[in-house]
Amino acid sequence: MPQADRYGAVGLERGPVRTELERRVREGLIAPDPIQQQLADKLDRLARDLRDRALSSKKSALGWLFGARKRAEPVKGLYIYGDVGRGKSMMMDMFFDLSPVTARKRMHFLVFMADIHDRIKAHRLAVKEGRAKGDDPIPPIADALSEQVQLLCFDEFTVTDIADAMILSRLFSALFERGLVLVATSNVAPENLYRDGLNRALFLPFIDILKAHAEIYWLDAPLDYRLGKLGSDDVFITPLGPAADQRIDAVWKKLLKDSVEHPTAISVTGRTVSVPRYGNRSARFTFQDLLSRPLGPRDYLEMAARFDTLIVENVPRLTLAERNEAKRFIILVDAFYDAGKQLVLSAEVPAHSLYQGNRGTEAFEFDRTVSRLTEMRSDAYRIRSKAA
């Protein structure tokens, strides 16, 4: 049956997302949760709205026969927030996989923003060389994106970079005007995005724009479904000391198999990032080498693309004074988790005690990092990692 047909009857009691959720409950894959059921119904209703808009658009294409073309009603997206491990990503992935929209993308927010900055740079170069006109790159970028994407899904939406914060209001105003529909998950309510960020007042209009174009839904599920999935202790080793060093060496030897380690490097947007120890698609860094250097999201995303396993040794307890290192650590974990790759860490303290800062966005986001590190120790995650 075509995907669009699954949303055919307005009065359907069960849409595809709700049906898939209930299948997983019946098979014992997840626990029943009424809050997730409510969210499934909202996602199914959004899918029907998108289908209806597409049908309306097709009919309006014949408007020249009958008069002026009627513009389709705008569709509000969905911003889903809640604590870590509540099933936000699972629910959005089900919606994305079952969506009737063909022009759709599910992207890591950092990848999306890196692409936007590349487009801005390319437009400014084209203007300088006389190949394009207009000092404002946002309208042509929005035009190009809206031709490619009608439904955009972000998992773990977060804003920590001032360069991103400064353009989000104008960019998404333009995208929403062109009919783009956003579905996003986040750990925080919209009001807490870019909390304590530099020049946050310039970011605040984006929150109003987001609320105007997406329904805000708090996924207040009763428990963190990841916490029962603890697996091997060899991927998070604590405390530091000779015993931890020996265990890391044993893991490294196993990863190398018959390969011989050697230094290498990766190229990221014209820069070279050195990798001190590499072999058999695995890399090994100290915390100082990897996270005290001025590396950014693109560097960690490239590492997640290149390496199946990354070892980071001697991760210290981080305080507010190491806020930049904490931010890089959050991005690193997100990059490897999203790619389904494996991290092996030796740390001074357990994951829940790694970051002691109590201010700024890092304090909110480190809860997600702890939950993801927990899941990355599980048998289920290692199976996913092998399949990635």
Complete DSSP assignment for 168-217: HHHHHHHHHHTT-EEEEEESS-GGGTTTT-TTGGGTHHHHHHHHHHEEEE
Residue 190: domain span: 3-218
Q: Which domain CATH number covers 287?
A: 3.40.50
pLDDT digits (tens, 9 = 90+) for 86-138: 889 899 999 999 998 999 999 888 889 889 999 999 999 999 998 888 889 99
Domain assignment of residue 225, yes or no: no
Give the least confident one: 59-73, 132-146, 209-223, 226-240: 59-73
Q: CA-to-CA distance for 305 and 280, rounded, in angstroms? A: 14
Strand segments (E) across the chain: 77-81, 104-108, 151-155, 181-186, 214-218, 236-237, 262-268, 271-279, 282-286, 309-315, 342-347
Domain assignment of residue 227, yes or no: no
Q: What percent of the chain has pLDDT over 70?
A: 87
What's the total number of domains in the chain? 2
Pairing of strands 151-155, 104-108: parallel
249 and 207 co-located in one domain:
no
State mean pLDDT over 17-45. Answer: 91
Residue 327: pLDDT band with limits 50, 70, 90: very high
Q: Which residues lie below 8 Å from residue 241, measured CB to CB, with a gap of 6+?
A: none
pLDDT of res. 340: 85
254 and 312 co-located in one domain:
yes
Q: Which of 213, 126, 130, 108 is nearest to 171 (CA)?
A: 213
pLDDT of res. 259: 87
pLDDT of residue 70 exceeding 50, the answer is no
Chosen domain end from 172, 193, 218: 218
pLDDT digits (tens, 9 = 90+) for 279-303: 999 999 999 999 999 998 999 999 9
For the entire predicted model, the pTM comes to: 0.65
At 237 the three-state DSSP class reads: strand
pLDDT of res. 336: 93
Domain assignment of residue 84, yes or no: yes
pLDDT of residue 6 exceeding 80, the answer is no
pLDDT of res. 224: 56
